[in-house]
Structure formats: C-alpha cells, structure tokens
Structure 1
Amino acid sequence: MSTFTPVDWQTRPAPQSAGEWIARAAEVATVLATDAAARDHAGATPYAEVQLLKESGLVTLLGPVAHGGAGEDWTTAYRVVREVSKADGSIAQLLGYHYLWNWAARLVGTREQWEHVEAEAARNRWFFGGAVNPRDADVIVTEDGDDLVFTGRKTFSTGSRISDVTVLEGVFEGTDQHVFAIVRSDSDGLTFHDDWDNIGQRLTESGGVTLDGVRTPWSSAAGYVDKKFQPRIYNTLNVPTIQLVFVNFYLGIAAGALQTAATYTREKTRPWLHGGHERAVDEPYVIDIYGDLTAKLWAVEALADAVAAEGQRLHEDPDAVTEQTRGEFEVRVAAVKARATDVALEVSHRIFEATGARSTSHAEGLDRFWRNVRTHTLHDPVFYKRREVGRWVLDGELPEPTWYS
C-alpha cells in the first residue's frame, strides 16, 4: 500500500472553475506519478490512492454544490479522468467508473431517489463501485416483504472492494426485468474476491463478487414507483456515457506514455552509433516518431472534447432525449472510441522505438502504459464500434441500445 506526501488541499480554497478542477487533477497526477511504476508492480489494493481522490475533492466533482460537491459537468469530469490517467490508468479508471455509478441514480432513478443519493454521496464523499457485468448470468432478485434480495455472482466488479457503496444489478426471478440498487459495500452477503490478476489496469480491483442474499429496501430500486419501473430514453445513456470515460483514460494513458518516454529520451536514450548525432533528440527518426504520435493524439483529443460537449447537452435536458438524438450521440461515441483505441495502442507500443533497448528495463515500467491500454480496450471489440459508424453512414441505421451500444 502506497503512502503519499501530504498535500495541503484541506487548507486551500476549493477550485471554482472547470479549469481549476482540471489543474487539481493534474496535481493528483503529479502525486501518483512519483511511484506509479512501483505501485503497478506491487499490485496492492489502492486504499491510499482512493483516499487521495477523496482528499483532493475529485470524488465529489459532479455532486451538488449545496451538499459539498463541485457542481461540475461531464465535460470537466472527462478531462479530470484524462489528467489522472497520465500518471496512473488504474486510478483514473476507478475515478471514471465512480463518476458513472454516482450518476447512475440520475440516469435510472426517480428525482427523489437521485437527489437523495447525490446529496448523501457529496456530504459523505462516498466512493462508488459497481457489480454490473452484463456478460455474466444475471444475478437473481426476489422479494421478501418490503425488501429485495440479490443472489448470484459477477465475474467483474470494478472498484467495489475499496468502495463505500456498490451499485448492484440483477433480474427479477422469472422475468427479464432488470433492477438497480445502491447498497453499502460492507453489506451482509456481499463478498468481494481478491482474484483480479490481469496484465494491465492492475490496481482497479476488478475481481469477482458473490451476492449471497444481499438485502435492500424496495425503495432503493432505481426508477421503480409502486414496484413498477418508469422507463425513459435517458435511461439508455449509461453506455455512451461510460464509453466516453473509456476514451478519456485511453487518451490520458497515451499522453502519459508520450510524456514519460520523452523525458527518458532526453535524459537517457543514446544516439545510434552510426547516425552521426551526439544526442538522441537530434535523431531524425526520433523527432518524427514524437511528431507523428503527438499529432495523432491531439486529433483524437479534439474529437473527444467535441463529443463530450454533445453529450453534455443531452444530460442537461434528460426528458428531451429522443431515440434519434441518443442514437446519433452513440454513433459519435463509437467513432471516437475506435480512434482512441487505435491511437492509444499505437502510442504505447511505438514509444519504445524512440527510447531504445535499455528502456525495456523492469525498473523503468514503460510497459505499463501498453499493458493498461491493451487490457481495457478488450472490454468490447472495436470492430463493432466501427460497424455502428458504418451502418449509420450507409443506411442511417441507429445503434440499438444494449449493454455495449
């Protein structure tokens, strides 16, 4: 477990603008960067890292100002995730998923429910996890008086083991009707397994979870009124919203890879003995690599910011979201997801062409950028993202809302 040098955030005025919050995220990234490679190698549960996110105020970025939140919007949240991921992709993923799960009450719940959840989350600086992996056989939900009972298992539950509250998802027994509810992460019957052992995103605590009769009041069933779900098209915005989280931590990881590699090239890379240059930074091929990769990254960052702004307009008027506006937004998200995936993978492996053989040392940890991108970009096949865009271009076909589109 890491310990960080204390930062005086508690004695300083809270950021008052989007730019100041992004600068705060950059400060957090600076702290995380001090031992990022060592923490990645250790793979320890990130208790100290989550505490850092709380102390910095980043966990309440989207929360209501009246209850201690920053009242910022999704365009700022995405940029914050991107900044943090320059230093540590795992912690950025945890933060981005936290934002989505915190917002899930607003996406799915009634006004009374989401106002209550957001107020409590901001006041108590809750950190959210989620046990909502759609690829597993669904958790079964039954009724017991005024309670709902969740029973089953999920293979992945990102962040739950170090969270204060967890979003549960299951299906009512004998139906195809889904239900979401937020419970305390220390609830009876909720067991998180220490079985996340993947090559990348190693600190995300994305292991499995068992739900053995986890109870929660009927009133916590998001979006249900008198035991009947109240559907809105806005409910389906969860997928493009979280996919933009993915986009931004991919881009942040790529930017961090470039920054770290450039520092290594300036300070350690030796020029090729037959190249005729005294410094590696004067090698034409090295200059070309950094110029090429930076130009590609900047282009996708600009697209990501534009798409985030389009999504924010939908979030600002949920009741006005239509199948058409939702579908067109998903197409745009699919396009930037595809480009971010390709560019982040290219950046994170091509940096080695500019840093040289010695940069592959285990101690340098440059491989973590590629491992992190490669691991998470397998979340869903990029082929299907390009397909969404292609079908829309050729036939005007809008993506059907699913767990992945």
Structure 2
Amino acid sequence: MTHTEQLGVSTAPTDGSSAGRWTGSPQPSSAEEWLARAREVSDILIVDAVDRDRANLTPHAEVRLLKDSGLVTLLGPVAHGGGGQSWEIAYQVIRVVARGDGSIGQLLGYHYLWAWAARLVATDEQIAAVEELYTRNNFLFGGAVNPRDSDLSVREDGEELVFSGHKSFSTGGEVADLTVLEGVLEGTETHIFAIVPTSQPGIVFGGDWDNLGQRLTESGSVEIRQVRVPWSDAAGFVGKVFQPLVYNTLNVPAIQLVFTNFYLGITQGALETAAEYTRSSTRAWPYGGDNKERATDEWYLLEGYGQLQSKLWADEAIADRAGAEISRVLHEPREDLTPRRRGEIAVLIAAAKLRAIEDGLETTSKIYEFTGARASANAVGLDIFWRNLRTHSLHDPAAYKKREVGQYVLLNEVPEPSWYT
C-alpha cells in the first residue's frame, strides 16, 4: 500500500443539527446555489454560536455540518464529487459562514488553503492523488505550519523523511482528517511540505487553545514526534530536488485574503445581530429634547448604522475585487505567474485586510452605542464578534501591511514573498 493510500483514514460521524438535512438533495451546481448552501449553514451556526463559544468544546458537530453541506469539497474536482468552484466563490463562502460563526469560517478558510497546498507546490501526480483523496472522502485539512515557531526538523532515513518538533498553533487540530507539515531538512535550508493523516501516534495535540476569541478553531499546540513520510510524498520534489515556481508563493496572499473574508463575515454578523437587537429591544432616549417613540426613529441610530453599513459594503467591494484577481491567477497555468503580478495582488489584499480589520473593530465596538446598556449583558452575547475579530487580527502586525501599500504607492515597489507577505 502506498503512503497516499494510507492517508485514506476515515473518521466516525458526529451528531449535529445537520443530520439528514441535505439527504436526498442534489449537490449545488452553480455559484449562486453554493452561496445559498453557505447561508443555510450560517443560519444554523448563528443560533447557538454564543453558547458553543462558552462551552469551548472540540467542534466535531460543526465540522460534520460543513461536511454534510458539501462545503468542504467546494474546490474539489467535479470528477471526484467536488463542487469544482473557483476561489472567487470560496472566499465569499468563507465570509457567509463566518457571519454565523467566526471560528467555523476560519476552519473552513484554512481548510481551503491547505487543500489547495498541493496545487501550490506539488507535482502534477501528487496534485491528482491529493485532490482525489480529500474530495472522495470529504476530508478536512489542518496545518502545523506556524512560521513564528522554529521549523520542524526533517531528517532523511533511506527513502523516508522523519518530521519532529513543536508548533504553538495548529488550526484544525483534532477535527482535521489530514494535516499539512512543513519543516527543514537537516543540514540544509530546504523546506519540505507533506500531507499526513492526523490520527496517528506521532501527532499529539496539546488541547491548550483557550483564547479570547475564535475559540472553536482547534488552534492549540501540537507535538510532531517522528512522523514518517515517503520521499515520494515530499510536495513538489522530483528526484529529491524541489521545482520552484513564482506560483509556489501564492500561499501567503491566498490565506491573507481568507483572513480578510472571515473578518468581514464576523463584522456582518455583528451588524445584523445588533440591528435586530435595536429593532426589538433598544429604547428611544427620552431626555434629548427631540424625543422619539421608537429607537428606530432616533436620528443618531439611523446615522450610525448607515455609517457602519456603508463601510462594510465598501470593504466587501475591495475584498471581492481582490478575490477575483487572485482567483484568476490561482486557476491559470502555474507557469504563467510573474513576480510583479504576484506582488500587485499581494498589495491589493493587504489593503483589503487593513480595511476589514479597522472597520471591523470599529463596528464590533460601536454597536454597543447603538444597542444600549442592556445589550452589554452576557446573555445577549454581542461581545463574541469583537473577541473573535480582535483575536485573529493580531495574527501579524497590520502596520506592515500599511507599509507594503505605502511602498507600492510612493515607490512603485511590490513586496518580496515571505511567510507573511
């Protein structure tokens, strides 16, 4: 049995509110139908998002929901039962799901990136094997690739590679069927990516993810203990030599736009939830000299919601433009991408991310001014949106994104590829 065949481990189904929901229903076939399916998932998630956040349990049922809905294989080849959709639609799906639960939007977005990792760096044969594997089995990806930690150590043992080390963050954790590993071959500066089954003795999760927000992303630490991979599964290597392309470096812009879209989804969820609370529960202010009967007649509330919604629509527009741009090159022949084109896309994504963070943080804080003091009750749960956005937006400093955009504007320079650009 080959290592690729060995990756075909199965996971037991988990219970959840999605059980049987789409049984007998045809899989969505158009972009509009996939977005409608994502809205169904989002509507399920938003109902008890606060309760699930507080329980902070491993999100088995939530992942079952993603799998049952078909969203996990949205980018997978149609020939293997996947949706065959573009990255432009995947980004919008991430945003819609995050509107219901930011954590689950992140899990799905990271999955899309890691499922595409084979296309980014692997050989044609490896790409075909990985895409068939995960699509046919409806597998979810996670990744132990936090570049702020020391790289995993990779040693050569005959025709096998042995990965070892520690990562502080590993989004997907125990709910991932497949995990992407990255390390440096001992005695060299050669980075090696490989995809391995998550359920094995050599992958030990710390169970220590207990942060302010994005609590259901299974992003805690992981120990990699002597995980063996055949040399033939080292992504992109032919005869133990890597075949580099500019296309290989799209992983960072692609996932930075994943971030942007689940930030926008979180903000949308915050605005919708606050608006519903204002309509149903906020009282007009009786001491202003321009007394209104209903809160929805208050001029400052109408103006305030108008300002926040206008910013969100503008942010979504630049994110959609960036999504269309990077989707185009992600689906074009890999050899066609130039460093300049890659850099221009990275700058546009940096600008989109900046707006999503700054306007999102303003929205998730300011909604309290438009809902009133009683909305600060824990039972209302408006804090989940700020906590989720604040937590993940610390992933890498926004100041460096501002600098990248500024260098492009003033100096016509595009950023050099790095782990964060």
Give the equivalent residue in structure 2 for 1:310. 325
In the alignment, which of 182, 187, 202 is matched to residue 200 of structure 2? 187
Separation in 1, partners of 2:113, 2:131: 12
Maintained 8 Å contact 1:64/1:122? yes
Maintained 8 Å contact 1:269/1:355? yes
Give the equivalent residue in structure 2 for 1:99. 112
Separation in 1, partners of 2:15, 2:387: 21
Give the equivalent residue in structure 2 for 1:237. 250
Q: Does 1:170 align with 2:186?
A: no
Q: Does 1:380 align with 2:396?
A: yes
In the alignment, which of 77, 91, 108 is matched to residue 121 of structure 2? 108
The letter of the residue matching 1:300 is: D
Give the equivalent residue in structure 1 for 2:221. 208
Give the equivalent residue in structure 2 for 1:223. 236
Q: Does 1:131 align with 2:147?
A: no
The letter of the residue matching 1:171 is: V
| Unaligned residue ranges in structure 2 (runs of 5+) | 1-13
Q: Does 1:301 align with 2:311?
A: no
For residues 221-248 of structure 1, give each alpha carbon's deviation from its aligned partner in whole angstroms, at most 9, with x where no partner exists.
1000110001000000000000110000
Q: Does 1:56 align with 2:69?
A: yes
Maintained 8 Å contact 2:86/2:331? no
| CA apart distance, 1:197 | 1.1
The residue correspondences of 1:384-399 to structure 2 (distance < 5 A) are 384-399=400-415
Maintained 8 Å contact 1:2/1:39? no
Separation in 1, partners of 2:204, 2:336: 40
Maintained 8 Å contact 2:312/2:359? yes
| CA apart distance, 1:120 | 0.8
Cα RMSD of the aligned pairs, angstroms, is 1.1
Give the equivalent residue in structure 2 for 1:400. 416
Maintained 8 Å contact 2:18/2:64? no
For residues 162-190 of structure 1, give each alpha carbon's deviation from its aligned partner in whole angstroms, at most 9, with x where no partner exists.
11000001001122110000000012311
Separation in 1, partners of 2:18, 2:169: 32
- Aligned identity (percent) is 59
The letter of the residue matching 1:86 is: R
Maintained 8 Å contact 2:16/2:64? no
| CA apart distance, 1:380 | 0.6
For residues 234-285 of structure 1, give each alpha carbon's deviation from its aligned partner in whole angstroms, at most 9, with x where no partner exists.
0000000001100000000000000000000001111112141111111111
Separation in 2, partners of 1:62, 1:133: 24
Q: Does 1:322 align with 2:335?
A: no
The letter of the residue matching 1:283 is: E
Give the equivalent residue in structure 1 for 2:9. none
1:148 aligns to what SS in structure 2? strand
In the alignment, which of 321, 327, 334 is matched to residue 350 of structure 2? 334
Maintained 8 Å contact 2:360/2:389? yes
1:216 aligns to what SS in structure 2? strand
Give the equivalent residue in structure 2 for 1:284. 299
Separation in 1, partners of 2:94, 2:308: 21
| CA apart distance, 1:158 | 0.2
1:11 aligns to what SS in structure 2? coil
Give the equivalent residue in structure 1 for 2:7. none
Separation in 2, partners of 1:381, 1:2: 39
The letter of the residue matching 1:296 is: K
Separation in 2, partners of 1:321, 1:59: 27
Maintained 8 Å contact 1:2/1:49? no
Q: Does 1:357 align with 2:370?
A: no
1:386 aligns to what SS in structure 2? helix
| Unaligned residue ranges in structure 1 (runs of 5+) | none
Please report the TM-score for the alignment, with normalisation by the length of structure 1.
0.98
Maintained 8 Å contact 1:128/1:160? no
| CA apart distance, 1:4 | 1.7
- Give the paired residue count: 405
Please report the TM-score for the alignment, with normalisation by the length of structure 2.
0.95
The residue correspondences of 1:257-276 to structure 2 (distance < 5 A) are 257-275=270-288, 276=291
For residues 29-70 of structure 1, give each alpha carbon's deviation from its aligned partner in whole angstroms, at most 9, with x where no partner exists.
111112111001111110000000000000000000000100
The residue correspondences of 1:141-156 to structure 2 (distance < 5 A) are 141-156=154-169
